[in-house]
Amino acid sequence: MKPRVVCRVATLLLAAGAGWRCGPTSSVAPIVAVPPGQQGGVSPPQVATQAQIRILGVGTHDFRSVNVAIQGVTVEVNGAAVEVQPADRRIDLASASGWVAGQFALPAAGSKVHVTLTFAPDGSWARASSSGAIDARGIPIAFDATAEKILAHGSVEVRIDLGSSLVLDGGGRLALLPNLGIRF
C-alpha cells in the first residue's frame, strides 16, 4: 500500500484532531472523519414552530348553536409544560368553521406532545323550536401526538361529533360528553 493511502486510512480510523497529517500541510486539506449516521456539514439550529390547537363541531344535526367556553388548554412537550397563547374562548360548535383554542411553540420533530382541553361548566344550545343549558363539566379532552404529525399541517384539530356528544342529563339539560376524533 502506498504511504498516502495508509495515512488516509489511519486518519479515518483515528479521531480527527489527533494530530495526524497527510502529505504537505500547506496544499492538502486534512481529512476529517465524520461520525457514523452523519452526513457532515453544519446542522441547522433547532427552531420552534408555531402550532395551533383547533376545535370543530361536526354532525350538528338540527342544532343552530352549541355555545361553550374553553376554560383551559395545556400543552406538554417531552413532559415539560410549554406556554399556550389562548385564542377563542367562547365558541359555537354548531358553526361550520373551526375555532382556535390556542397556539404554542413546538420544538423540532421527534418531540412527544400531550394536549389537554377543558371546558367551562356552563354552555347553551339552541334548535329551531327549543333551547337550553349545557353541562360541560365532563372529563377533559386529552391526547398525545408527535411533533412530526402536528408540524405536517401546523395544527391539530379536535372534531367533536355533536349528535352523539350531547346527551340528556336527567335535569333538563344536555351534558357534553365528547365523542371526538383528532385530525392532524
Print burial letters for 142-175: b (CB count within 10 Å at least 16), e (below 16): eeeeebeebbeeebbbbbbbbeebbeeeeeebbb
59 and 111 together in one domain: yes
Beta-bridge partners for 123: 134
pLDDT digit string, tens, across residues 161-172:
999 999 999 888
61, 138: one domain: yes
Distance CA 156, CA 149 (A): 8
Q: Report the C-alpha gap between 10 and 31 in whole angstroms.
A: 10
**Is residue 107 included in any domain, yes or no?**
yes
If asked whether residues 26 and 70 sit together in one domain, one would say: no
Is residue 84 domain-shared with residue 115, that is, in the same domain? Answer: yes
Enclosing domain of residue 139: 49-183
**Residue carrying C-alpha cell 350531547:** 166
Amino acid, single-letter form, for residue 115: V
Q: Within this chain, do residues 135 and 86 fall inside the same structural domain, yes or no?
A: yes
> Residue 17: what pLDDT?
38
Q: Is the pLDDT of residue 42 over 80?
A: no
Q: Are residues 32 and 95 in the same domain?
A: no
Is residue 44's pLDDT more than 60?
no
Same structural domain, 171 and 149: yes
Mean pLDDT value of segment 140-165? 94
Residue 8 inside a domain? The answer is yes
With beta carbons less than 8 A apart as the criterion, state whether 114 and 75 touch.
Answer: yes
> Does 94 share its domain with 10?
no
- Smallest CA-to-CA distance from 94 within 65, 54, 69 is with 65
Of the candidate ranges 4-18, 23-37, 63-77, 85-99, the one whose mean pLDDT is the lowest: 4-18
Same domain, 145 and 72: yes
Contact in structure between 71 and 117 (CB atoms under 8 Å): no
Full-model pTM: 0.73
pLDDT tens column, 66-80: 999 999 999 999 999
The radius of gyration computed from the CA coordinates of the chain, to the nearest angstrom, equals: 28
Asked if 70 contacts 120 with a C-beta cutoff of 8 angstroms, the reply is: yes
CA distance 110 to 107: 9
Q: Is residue 83 part of a domain?
A: yes
The span from the CA of 145 to the CA of 162, in Å, is: 24
